Structure formats: structure tokens, C-alpha cells
Amino acid sequence: MAMVLAWTGLDLTPKELTADVYTANLHGSLQPSLISAARQYGRVAYPIKGLKELFAEVNAEHPVIVLQNLGLNWYPKWHYAVVIGHENGGGTIILHSGAKAAERLSRQVFQNTWSRSDYWGLLVLPTDKLPAIVTEEKYLNAVAGLERARQFAAAVSAYKTAITRWPQSLSAWMGLGNSFYAQGDLSSAANAFNQAMQLYPSNGMPMNNLAQVLWEQGKKEQAIQVIRHAIELGGPFRHVFEETLHNFEQNEE
């Protein structure tokens, strides 16, 4: 983890990361702990799987954490390493492994040890980079993890990166608005929700969130107009919109 965080621009030692990733009774680290640590430091944790994705990422100069079993299936010796490249047309894998820098393993040996973790790999990316092989849903799920970790500034940056790739993504615009809102930036949140509303005029959720922001900005008449429009549209979240309007009416009294 220290290696890949250094690649993203963070200077941290393994000792500094121990409390974040090490589980004492297991004498090691679990995959969710690595993902959580990456998020705590404002980085996008993006799982990958299999040789195709691994080669694509290292070809893009993205280091990949992999979980290997260097022992036997009945006597496992779990070990994390960082794959940094390959040689001989993919026949040799280059990885930082423990204290060994740029260790070289044959593809067959590497694949045998990696397959025992079901080919689990993890990208740790700065928020202005996308994986080499990426899908909208998977990337936005990874960015949502930054919101859950309350790394809202990092989430804003990552959602903006997503929008450059998928400019009509409702989830990206909504996530951007929610992250701005969590930081108290109501003006930017309103702009994001308004953009989502323009892109998806038949979806009431952007209107609901925009109405809330407008209300907090003191634009109460406009907020009520927007939320009433959302209620008129109906849909499965109509009860949410009605609750928002009810809250407005109660607070206005």
C-alpha cells in the first residue's frame, strides 16, 4: 500500500499505514482494509481481476496490488505484491514483492500463485486518473466509496474525472452535487443538480436535491416550485418528494 500510495504522490511509510491495514490476530491485512486505507487517503480503490486487466493497467503504467498464495491450498501463505510490468511478451511478470524490488517470475508461476486468490487485484489511483479498462458503473461505485469515507474533496475531483468520460452520467452528476453539498458548497451543488435535471428532465431525484439546496439558499419559492414539479412527475420516489415538500411547509410555519 505504501508503494502504490507513493506512486500517487503520497509519501507514507509502511509503519505509518500499519494501524490502517494490519489485523493483529490474523498477522496480516484483509482486502477490505486495503480498500478502506486507500479511500482514507483520498485515492480511488478500483478492484481488477485477471491477466487481461492486469496487463492493460501495467501497460498504462498503473501499478497493481495483487494477492498471492505462495504456499499450498491446504497450507496457504498469503502475500501481497505490486505488479509493475512484464517482459518477453507477458511471459515474465515484474513485481515488487516484500523486500525484493523488481522481482521477476515466469507467467506460469505468477499465475499459479495469483489464481489461488481468484485473481484479486487492486488499483489505487489519484482522482484525476481513470483505469485503463473501466466501466462507468464500477468506477462510480469506487468513487462512492470516497463519499462513504467522508473524503468529499477527493470525491468531487473523481466525479469530475468521471464526467469527462461520461458527460451524461446521472450518477456522476448526482454524486458531484452530493459531495459539494457535504462540503457546504451550495452554489456548486445547485449547479450540479441543475445539470442533472437538464439531462434527465423526467427524473425527479435531481429536482428533489436541487429543491433542498435552493431552500437552504433562501430561495424558498423556487424550491417549492421545483419539488412540486418532482411530485407531479411521480415515480417510485414520489413519497420522498412529498416528504421534502412537507418539511418545507413545516419549516415555513
Tell me the per-residue pLDDT of 57-95, one tens digit each, with 9 for 90 and over: 999 999 999 999 987 776 778 889 999 999 999 999 999
Q: Between the CA of residue 168 and those of 172, 174, 202, 207, 251, what are the distances in Å?
A: 8, 11, 14, 16, 34
Order of strands, sheet of 120-125, starting from the edge strand that comes earlier in the sequence: 44-49, 120-125, 64-69, 78-87, 92-97, 100-106
Asked if residue 36 lies in contact with residue 134, where contact means CB atoms within 8 angstroms, the answer is no
pLDDT tens for each residue of 106-144 = 999 999 999 999 999 999 999 999 999 999 999 999 999
Mean pLDDT of 153-163: 98
Supply the CATH classification number for the domain 155-252. 1.25.40.10
Using a 10 angstrom Cβ sphere, with 0-12 exposed, 13-18 middle and 19 or more buried, the burial of residue 53 is: buried
Q: CA-CA distances (angstroms) from residue 174 to 92, 138, 207? A: 43, 16, 11
Q: Tell me which residue has cell 436541487.
A: 210
Residue ranges covered by each domain of the chain: 2-125, 155-252
Q: Provide CB contacts within 8 A for 166, sequence distance 6+.
A: 136, 172
CA distance 179 to 28: 33
Q: What is the DSSP letter of 203?
A: -
Matching CATH number, 2-125, of 3.30.465.10, 3.30.365.10, 3.40.50.300, 3.90.70.10? 3.90.70.10
